[in-house]
Structure 1
Amino acid sequence: MFENAKIWTFDRERPTAQAIAIEGNVIVAVGDRDAVRDTAPDAERIDLQGACVIPGFNDTHAHMEREGLKTLRPSLAGAKSVGDILARIREAAAIIPPGEWIVTMPAGTPPFFFDGVSSLAERRLPNRHELDAAAPDHPVYIQGVFGNWGKPPGHSGLNSRGLELNNIGPDTRPRVGGVKIEVDAQGIPTGIIVEHNNRPTVEFDILPAVPRFGFADRLEGIRRSQRLYNAKGTTSIYEGHGSAAETISAYRRLWELNELTIRAGLVLSPSWNDLTEARRIMRDWLATARGSGLGDRWLRVSGIHIAYGGDPVVACCARAHLPDTGWSGFVEQAVSPSDFREACFLAAEFDLRLHTIVGDQLHEIVPVLRAVNERHPIAERRWVIEHIGRARPEDIRALKELGIYVTTISTYYLWKGGSKYLNEADGGNGVVPHRAILDAGIPLAIATDNIPYDPFFTLWTTCAREERSTGRVIGPDQRLDAHTALELFTAAGAALTFDEGWKGRLKPGFAADLAVLSDDPTTLPPAELKDLSCLLTIVDGRIVHDVR
């Protein structure tokens, strides 16, 4: 029993409480101290000394598998010069057996790496010859930044052995645009490759010899990710962007081993090549993902993600390396508007919940949803629209009429990428319009997108809506108060996995998933939300994080 707390339950019948009792993996009582003591007289009593308690965060666009992977490679964080990087390479060479690859994280300051090579005194990576001297017996690869974390360009670096193993020479030409192999005055590659694509393609396109994340890496990555997410108060995730077969297999294995400490809702990321193959796969192989899917309270797979748009060359390069998906964890897709329309009809025909990222193209997606709905009513199917950028009022109304669920990424569109919305005619009120979506009565949940994975940062961007470089507010009328944002980040996401009847709120009979915070978000100015921390996390009645 936890008492002397300020508890936000997000239960309409009892929105606040001072005490909560847990028996096994469920909540048995919530209320004032004396009432809860009477209900659970023999419970161990823990005085939280006025701390704030909320339901555990449900990160509904988490990309959780990535975070732990970042810790598997040597970090260059804090390196201020080429010499600092070479020192890190020498340290790795002293540990890694000769002949094996040394692969590091990018230059710059994590988690965003915005500063990249500009953080180095020379404003460049070491060239091939400098890396040769630091690790003469190893191939070396300094990876470029994954654009979803920060911003392009990304700078990659290889030594001579790394270039040779990948057959990079004066005549090498990347298939994907936006990639430049730097050369010296004689036309010989220097070892530096610069990529301007948001989703890096260089490894898939021209670096086939660079080691990939194997299945064991992905297992360990998720194990580490869980600890990191638990430490932020996260108890559930939903991967609406879709998960490739290898990613789902890693989660399934951890489920078999009883090692999950995060409840995971996954969506399929398909690898079909055309609509004929899509129909056959949906008809013959995806029965377990139909409707609410298949799974239990720890792991559930439901629905598919179908992209709208994409670069066919990028998709081709990436798919050639399956089951490896690099950092993404999903299968790269390139879907034309006409193919997207037909795929949506197929998804409805075979009762597969659609998930799609719309960005600024919601106005192009809505007519497709309307057409599908005329043949296959979708209002009760919980189809999900994700990553909304601009949204017109008439399209928001359409989403309500169609019974669509929405998840948004305020950090991606407002803070990290908000510069393109600074001069909107309506002041940005049509960009990630949280208030308008809620006022329309549309089920809404917010998420981190792993940029970063810290939910308190996302709370801040949702409530403040400030663009990164200028601090200007985008869409002041769409700002949310912290209490509303908390509900969207905790209780609201349960409906995406059809679990709203047993998790997401702090009420008797619900899962004992909760977080104890360093302060009450509802009492803080928006600027201080990102400085919050989690003191204690409980999942399924078990403590998984405790720094009290």
Structure 2
Amino acid sequence: MITTGCVRTLDRDDRVAEAIAIKGDRILAVGDAAALKAGATPKTRLIDLPGATVTPGINDAHAHMEREGLKLRRPSLAGCRSIADIQALIKAEVQRTKPGDWIVTMPIGAPPFFFNAIAGLAEARAPDRFDLDAAAPDHPVYISGLFGNWGAPPGFSCLNTRALALNGITGASTPSVGGIEIVKDDKGEPTGVIIERNPRPMVEFDLLPAVPRFSAADRRAGIISSMHLYNSVGTTSAYEGHGSAAEIIGLYRDLWEKGELTVRMGLVASPSWKDVSEAAVIMRDWLAHAQGSGLGDPWFRLSGIHVAFGGDERMAEIARMDLPNTGWSGFVEQAQGPKDFEALCRLALLHDLRLNTIVADRLGDVVAILERVNEISPLAGRRWVIQHIAKTEAETLARLARLGVLVTTIPVYFLWKGGHWYDEKDGDRIVPMRTMLDLGIDTAAATDNIPHNPGFTLWSMCERRRRSDDRVMGAAERLTRREALHALTVSGARLTYDEHHKGPLAPGFLADLAVFDADPLNVEAEGLKDLSSLLTMVGGRIVHERRR
């Protein structure tokens, strides 16, 4: 039994109680603290946290959760303020690394965003191969470039002479995809610095075959670390609508079978087909397990597929060539134009595979295709998922609402981090969640791992400020705190067919909850950004507990 004085149930009546009682994996009762304590037995554990607030557990509807733990698998350069600092860190790694073995670090800069990393160094430049040679003459060294989804490109990959040689990079080397520049000196020789302007880095796929990839053991350890980190901020469920590659699905499945999951996972297959004809065979012969509601239970469910709308064909090709490695993404890169995308939608409908897709500024194009597919057989009830809505119109959203599909949004990505891409006058058209709610679209919100703290996403939905100048992007589209919290907790249950037993804190529902120091509905706006959980419970099991 947990008593705090404030239990925000987010049930249909929006009740606020004083205490919550749990039996097994379910909620037994919510209500008056004295009344619930009167029913306690000698075996009941009483947890009294006065002044704290209990809410439903966070359901991160587009999490990319495994990335957070992967960041811990490589040495961090977060404290480095100069090239000398970087050299000192690499020299320390040399002492722990067998001669000839690779030293691979995180990007220059400080997580979670790595903004202005090079400008933050005293020299205001990236270390070149000679800087890195001085620190590690007997080891190949690679400072990985920025993963653009965290912060903002460009990213700077840095290699020493040994690393350049092992990857075959010479003065004659050229990238095969756009957005990548091999920096060369006056003599045309590579300096060891590679600049990339692509949001998702392609440099390792394209130019660096010798750089060590994340192993399956790295990824498994990363997932375990990620779950603890997500639990610590109140997250109890995650949905991976961008799709997960086979290797990632296998690791989650193994943790599920061993009973080691502490975050409930909803996964979507990220197929590796190269064209529509290959997709037709894969959907027909190999994806029966992902049809309909898929396979699994409330702890693990695999259902549906991700199909990209747009993309670069060459980037997708070189990424597929590197499988099973998927880098930081965790999904298989795809590239489909409108014609192929529609063909894949029709195939997904034929094979009862619910489709997940990312639309960004092209919701109108996708809605037009889905309307034609809907004429074949209604999409309502199939739980297809539209994700990453950015700039759009109310009329387009009304058409989307009529289709009866599910929607997830990433407010931080387009409002805070990417708000400078849009004219302030169009702010009401960027991630217009108020309009969505008014149209009956009960959108589920997500962090996108930028950052993984859902409090930052809450803040973004309610404040709608952009990073570049702190201006508000469409004040009329702000959500109330209660609406925003609902989008981050209750709304996502339908993504995994769990809405009848997960979400609100109601008797008979799963005991998935978070206990926060501050009340998300009343704390100062800036205080939302760094919410942390005193206690997180999944299925009646405490998966995180922090002393005050």
Q: Distance in 2 between matches of 1:471 and 1:388?
A: 21
Deviations 1:339-386 (A, max 9, x none): 001100111111111110000000101111110010021111111100
Task: Show the counterpart of 1:547.
Answer: 546
Structure 1: how far apart are the matches of 2:255 and 2:207?
A: 33
Provide the rounded CA distance (Å) in 2 between the counterparts of 1:14 and 1:437: 21
1: distance between equivalents of 2:114 and 2:293? 38
Q: 2:460 aligns to what SS in structure 1?
A: helix
- Identify the residue that residue 460 of structure 2 maps to in structure 1: 461
Match of 1:5 in 2: 5
Residue matched to 2:480: 481
Native 8 Å contact 1:349 1:376 kept in 2: no
Partner of 1:112: 113
Q: Which residue of 2 aligns with 1:67?
A: 68
Question: What letter matches 1:20 in structure 2?
Answer: I
Query: What SS is found at the alignment partner of 1:208?
Result: coil
Residues 474-514 of structure 1: CA distance to partner in whole angstroms, max 9, x if unpaired? 01100011111111101111111000111111111111111
Match of 1:204 in 2: 205
* Secondary structure of the corresponding residue to residue 187 of structure 2: coil
User: What is the letter of the counterpart of residue 69 of structure 1?
Assistant: L
Measured after TM superposition, the shift of residue 36 of structure 1 is 2.0
What is the CA–CA distance in structure 2 between the aligned matches of 1:106 and 1:502, rounded to whole Å? 42
One-letter amino acid of the structure 1 residue matched with residue 418 of structure 2: G
SS in 2 for 1:99: coil
User: Does residue 1:440 correspond to 2:439, yes or no?
Assistant: yes
- In the alignment, is the contact (CA less than 8 A) between 1:231 and 1:537 conserved in 2? yes
Aligned pairs for 1:15-164 (under 5 A) are 15-42=15-42, 43-164=44-165
Whether the aligned pair in 1 keeps the contact of 2:8 and 2:14 (CA below 8 Å) is no
Unaligned 5+ runs, structure 2 = none
What do the CA deviations read for 1:426-448 (whole angstroms, capped 9, x no partner)?
Answer: x4111100000001111210000
Shift of 1:413: 0.1
Counterpart contact for 2:292–2:354, Cα < 8 Å: yes
Alignment of 1:224-235 (within 5 A): 224-235=225-236
Contact 2:233/2:531 (8 A) holds in 1: no
Paired position in structure 2 for 1:217: 218
Instruction: Note if contact 2:442-2:487 (Cα within 8 Å) is conserved in structure 1.
Output: no
Contact (CA 8 Å) 1:109, 1:115: kept in 2 or not? no
Pairing of 1:38-437 with structure 2 (within 5 A): 38-42=38-42, 43-424=44-425, 427-437=426-436
* TM-superposed deviation, 1:45: 2.1
- C-alpha change, 1:310 and 1:25, in structure 2 (3 Å) is same
- 3-state DSSP class of the match of 2:431? coil
Change beyond 3 A, Cα 1:14–1:106: closer
Cα offset for 1:41?
4.4
Unaligned ranges ≥5, structure 1: none
Amino acid at match of 2:422: Y
Give the Cα separation in 2 of the matches to 1:363 and 1:23: 47
Task: Compute the displacement of 1:419 (Å).
Answer: 0.5
**Aligned AA for 1:359?**
A
2:458–2:528 Cα contact (<8 Å) kept: yes
1:525 maps to 524
Give the TM-score, by structure 2 length.
0.98
Task: Name whichever of 165-174 and 32-41 sits farther off.
Answer: 32-41
Question: What per-residue deviation string (whole Å, max 9, x for no partner) do you get for residues 287-317 of structure 1?
Answer: 1111111101211000111000000111111
Is the contact made by 2:4 and 2:54 (CA closer than 8 Å) also made in structure 1?
no
Tell whether the 8 Å contact from 2:113 to 2:150 is kept in structure 1 after alignment: yes
Residues 270 and 304, structure 1, Cα contact 8 Å, conserved in 2: yes
Secondary structure, aligned partner of 1:531: coil
Could you tell me how far 1:274 is from its partner in structure 2?
1.3
> What SS does structure 1 have at the residue aligned with 2:316?
helix
Q: Which amino acid aligns with 1:470?
A: D
Q: Distance between the aligned counterparts of 1:318 and 1:48, measured in 2?
A: 49
Residues 131-157 of structure 1 deviation map (CA, whole Å, 9 limit, x = unaligned): 112111110000110000001110011
Aligned to 2:490: 491
Distance 2:48 2:529 in 1: 26
* Structure 1 position 39, deviation (Å): 4.2
Shift, 1:13, TM fit: 3.9
Question: What is the CA–CA distance in structure 1 between the aligned matches of 2:5 and 2:51, rounded to whole Å?
Answer: 4
Q: What is the number of equivalent residue pairs in this alignment?
A: 546
Cα deviation for residue 113 of structure 1 reads 0.6
3-state DSSP of counterpart to 1:254: helix
How far does the alpha carbon of each residue in 1:415-466 deviate from its partner, in whole angstroms, 9 at most, with x for none?
Answer: 0000022333xx4111100000001111210000000101011111111100
The amino acid of 1:545's aligned partner reads H
* Aligned partners of 1:404 and 1:443 also within 8 Å: no
SS at match of 1:119: coil
SS in 2 for 1:523: coil
The 2-side partners of 1:420 and 1:127 are apart by: 32
2:545 partner amino acid: D
3-state secondary structure, aligned to 2:536: strand
In 1, Cα distance between the equivalents of 2:454 and 2:33?
29
> What is aligned with 1:538?
537
CA shift at 1:46, angstroms? 2.0
CA distance in 2, matches of 1:374, 1:144: 46
- By how many angstroms is 1:5 displaced? 2.5
Asked if 1 retains the 8 angstrom alpha-carbon contact of 2:514 and 2:533, the reply is: yes
Choose 222-231 or 127-136, whichever is displaced more: 127-136
Whole-Å separation in 1 of the counterparts to 2:131 and 2:483: 53
Q: In structure 2, how many angstroms separate the alpha carbons of the residues matched to 1:484 and 1:390?
A: 21
Structure 1: distance between partners of 2:39 and 2:289: 41
In the alignment, the residues of structure 2 paired with residue 71 and residue 532 of structure 1 have an alpha-carbon distance, to the nearest angstrom, of: 21
The 3-state SS of whatever aligns with 2:182 is strand
Given residue 544 of structure 2, which amino acid in structure 1 is its aligned partner?
H
Structure 1 residue 125, shift from structure 2 partner: 2.0
* 1:50 shift after superposition: 2.5
Counterpart-to-counterpart distance in 2, 1:226 and 1:45: 26
Q: Distance between the aligned counterparts of 1:259 and 1:126, measured in 2?
A: 41
SS of corresponding position for 2:119: helix
Q: What secondary structure is seen at the aligned counterpart in 1 of 2:282?
A: helix
- The 2-side partners of 1:337 and 1:395 are apart by 17
| Distance in 1, Cα, partners of 2:104 & 2:418 | 29
1 CA distance for matches of 2:527 and 2:233?
Answer: 16
Q: 1:56 deviation in Å?
A: 0.7
Question: Aligned partners of 2:352 and 2:236: how far apart in 1?
Answer: 28
| Superposed CA offset, 1:119-174 (max 9, x none) | 10111222112211211111000011000000111001101110000000010010
Decide whether the 8 Å contact of 1:464 with 1:527 is kept in 2.
Answer: no
